[in-house]
Structure 1
Amino acid sequence: MKKSILAIATLVSLALTGCSSNDDSPTPPKSTFELKVDDLKGNITDGIVTLDPSKTYNLTGGLIVKSGATLVIPAGTTIKTDPNVDANSLFVAVERDATIHIDGVAGNPVVMTSGKPSPKESDWGGLIICGNGKVNTGDNGTSEVGGLSYGGNDNDDSSGRINFLRIEYTGSKFTDKKEYNGVSFFGVGRGTEVSNIYAFESGDDGIEFFGGAVNASNLAIINAYDDSLDFADGYVGTITNIYISGVTKAGIEGSNNGDNDIAEPFTNAKLINVSIVKGSDAKFTASEQAINFKDGGGKQAYTNLFVSGIETFAKLDSGSGATARIDAGDFIVNGINFTTLDNLTASYVSNQTGAGAGASLPSWALDIQ
């Protein structure tokens, strides 16, 4: 009898242990996506796809994370573009209601780069993230490249996270009005984590925010051949620690709405600890100044902004929307209300340290390089 009781107790214990083990370690949902190291492309339609950081992936076409699916890219993973594929066909994109987890760490970022022997700007598209955040151009926009829907009414939406990403040689162009950036955020919500991005040699903008409310920190944008940092279409968020060097057009272009400069919600951007450095190469002309206050401008506030090599501070939209915002004190630079009567950089920038070290690359950027 004692042996029978002991046997029953042992079986019950094993059963409970098995249940506990399953509950503590749920199996991640499998994906039907066929992951190929030498041929990375296609639609991830379901489950979770995790890349292997010990391998270098050859991007041979558009890689799109579809609604409901997740792409995980661990620290140290490298994605290189196929040198023999058309540049406009090479991009990574995340749809609304899909997620991406770029999990680089200091000193060991995720790298997305050109696979050409002599890489240069515009070798490939870049990274596109679409979310359900509010955009003042409408709730269902279409990304200028990739044809993905974005926008909605959920500024708390999450598209995942981007931490420690180095992205290089992006910005290929379909036309003069249709081009990729380094990283494009379309209607991305503040539930998304964005920190430590190093965007290098983009043929168009380095990083751009189209509406949404995602916050970001530690953005280094080096050598962009349009604007370096761009936000528009009712973007509402805070960006902290921005280092810009190599300015072709504007260091920062801030817009409200290209079709209706008083569209609401107004762009309302707060930028803290910013360095804008024109660059010594003759090709970096900063033709649209340190700040391009464009298409109504919206509300813009800059704190601890450092500028080097650009004498005229802002290029100003002459429309009534922009004039109204400036007159209302909605364009603030280092605690001073900008005025059209004084557009000299020296009037607004004096002893600021910017992103951490004035014109020099800040220490935090070295961890992403």
Structure 2
Amino acid sequence: MKTKLFALALATGLFLNSCSSSDNPTPTTPTPATGEISGTITANKTYAYGNYTLKGIVKINAGVTVTFDAGSTITIDKATGDNALVVLKGGKLITNGTADKPVVFTEKSKLPGSWGGIIVYGDAPVKVAGGGTSGTSEDGNKIAYGGAVANDNSGSLVYTRVEYAGSKLADGDKENNGFTFYSVGSGTVLDHLVSYKGADDGYEFFGGTVSLTNSISYGNYDDSFDWQDGWQGQTNTNWYAYQTGKGNYGMEIEASLNDNAFGPKVSNITLRRAAGNVPEVGDNQVDAFQFKREGNGEYSNIIIDGYGNFTNAAGTVYTGSAVSILDAATNDHQVKTSKIKLLNVKITNTTNVLPIGATSAIVVAFPTGTFVQSATATGASLTGGAWATVDGVDLTK
């Protein structure tokens, strides 16, 4: 009887082992898709994992959703002319990147200022100069922006990197940014994004209510983070900026000359300037935070490092500061009324630790409790990985 049971067990084991080896074959890596992306996209489209080229100013129409699968790389060539990816109001862009398989938009030459980056238009409120509720974009598209849907949804950009952006498009007024958001609403997800070595700002908001989380601005020529037109995102956190080689303000904050009752909120911020970094045009743009044109907001748990003086070729010394207030209106209406708050701030390697005015006529004195230094601030907390690694360099370190 024991012999029969042993034989039965042996036979069963062999059968199970046979099933296991045949039912669980070694996984294979899918072959990347290829193709060109151009023109206006007028119907829903999903780009499977692959390597694509983007040519021209590609626009996603209203009512259309475009999706990129994880691990996809989209390459642009500045030799083809003006290039950008534009999400029009009512359209949606979804990038389904992951920490180890980000969606990457890059440019063939690897030179800053080689394309227009990602530009998104939403339908959320704005407040432009003069108090108006709409404006015309300065990106070369000259599109009207501004709406009334605070929770408007323009899609979901997750674990996505934009490299070498910052070119002008057509007869645009300014260079474009890595990511540009015109009146984008809070229903839009912006998470784990990288703007890498562009020729203008890393991120710029023109009004809207969208928030940005877990973001990196690395090596961009102008400001790491910039906004105007009454941007009021409320749940922003984990912003990391590293300015190296060439770069202006860590954060340029303005409200288009409107004394707003509202402002944005950002927590867990790290602003770092590398040794030897110079402002873009050799001037006085050497501060970590710059507030102007009635800019305000609440900022907490902040690391500021490396904003020392800059001396240009003519020997003029520009003083680096943790916080600079550019104009009297911002000082009178925002600083003095506690509409600007910088809390739990740790400052190192910076010439002016206390906030200053851009001129001696602007005497800055933050009310008690609105500018608070701390030795225990930790700044942004980000986990590295493929999403934040370029040419073998971990951008989070």
* TM-score normalised by length of structure 2: 0.74
Amino acid at match of 2:49: P
Structure 1 residue aligned with 2:5: none
Give the alignment of 1:284-363 within 5 angstroms. 287-297=285-295, 299-311=296-308, 312-334=321-343, 340-341=363-364, 348=373, 350-356=375-381, 362-363=382-383
- Indicate whether 1:253 and 2:246 are aligned: no
Pairwise CA distance, 1:350:
3.1
Structure 2 residue aligned with 1:84: 79
208, 232, 236: which one pairs with 1:236? 232
Structure 2 residue aligned with 1:135: 126
C-alpha distance in 2 between matches for 1:51 and 1:323: 51
Question: Contact conserved, 1:220 with 1:365, CA < 8 A, in 2?
Answer: no
Give the alignment of 1:102-251 within 5 angstroms. 102-116=95-109, 119-137=110-128, 138-145=132-139, 146-173=141-168, 177-237=173-233, 238-246=235-243, 248-251=247-250
The SS at the match of 2:334 is: helix
Pairwise CA distance, 1:38:
4.5
Q: Is there any run of 5+ residues in structure 1 with no aligned partner, and where?
A: 1-35, 357-361
Question: Please, which moves more after superposition, 167-176 or 187-196?
Answer: 167-176
Pairwise CA distance, 1:282:
3.5
Structure 1 residue aligned with 2:86: 93
Q: Give the direction of change, closer, same or farther, for the CA distance of 1:128–1:176 in structure 2 (3 Å limit).
A: closer
- Deviation per CA, 1:250-275, whole angstroms, max 9, x where unpaired? 10111111xx332x464x11110000
Structure 1 residue aligned with 2:30: none
C-alpha distance in 1 between matches for 2:137 and 2:37: 22
Q: Give the direction of change, closer, same or farther, for the CA distance of 1:140–1:318 in structure 2 (3 Å limit).
A: closer
Structure 1 residue aligned with 2:23: none
The SS at the match of 1:173 is: coil
Pairwise CA distance, 1:365:
6.5
Q: Give the direction of change, closer, same or farther, for the CA distance of 1:249–1:95 in structure 2 (3 Å limit).
A: same
Give the alignment of 1:273-292 within 5 angstroms. 273-283=268-278, 287-292=285-290
Question: Contact conserved, 1:218 with 1:365, CA < 8 A, in 2?
Answer: no
The SS at the match of 2:113 is: coil
The SS at the match of 1:39 is: strand
Question: Contact conserved, 1:130 with 1:149, CA < 8 A, in 2?
Answer: no
- Indicate whether 1:44 and 2:44 are aligned: no
C-alpha distance in 2 between matches for 1:60 and 1:173: 15
Pairwise CA distance, 1:177:
4.1
Q: Is there any run of 5+ residues in structure 2 with no aligned partner, and where?
A: 1-32, 309-320, 346-353, 357-362, 390-397
Give the alignment of 1:262-281 within 5 angstroms. 262=259, 264=260, 266=262, 268-281=263-276
The SS at the match of 1:224 is: coil
- Deviation per CA, 1:33-79, whole angstroms, max 9, x where unpaired? xxx9553211012x31111212x111120110011111111111111
Question: Please, which moves more after superposition, 222-231 or 148-157?
Answer: 148-157
The SS at the match of 1:323 is: helix
Structure 1 residue aligned with 2:6: none
- Deviation per CA, 1:258-300, whole angstroms, max 9, x where unpaired? xx332x464x111100000011234368824001101111x31
Pairwise CA distance, 1:333:
1.0
Question: Contact conserved, 1:326 with 1:338, CA < 8 A, in 2?
Answer: no
Q: Percent identity?
A: 28
Q: Give the direction of change, closer, same or farther, for the CA distance of 1:333–1:105 in structure 2 (3 Å limit).
A: same
Question: Contact conserved, 1:291 with 1:314, CA < 8 A, in 2?
Answer: yes
Q: Give the direction of change, closer, same or farther, for the CA distance of 1:365–1:317 in structure 2 (3 Å limit).
A: farther
Q: Give the direction of change, closer, same or farther, for the CA distance of 1:326–1:342 in structure 2 (3 Å limit).
A: closer
Q: Give the direction of change, closer, same or farther, for the CA distance of 1:171–1:338 in structure 2 (3 Å limit).
A: same
Q: Give the direction of change, closer, same or farther, for the CA distance of 1:214–1:161 in structure 2 (3 Å limit).
A: same
Amino acid at match of 1:132: D
Amino acid at match of 1:231: W
Larger radius of gyration: 2
Question: Contact conserved, 1:305 with 1:349, CA < 8 A, in 2?
Answer: no
C-alpha distance in 1 between matches for 2:270 and 2:222: 17
Residues matched between the structures, number: 316
C-alpha distance in 1 between matches for 2:112 and 2:232: 29
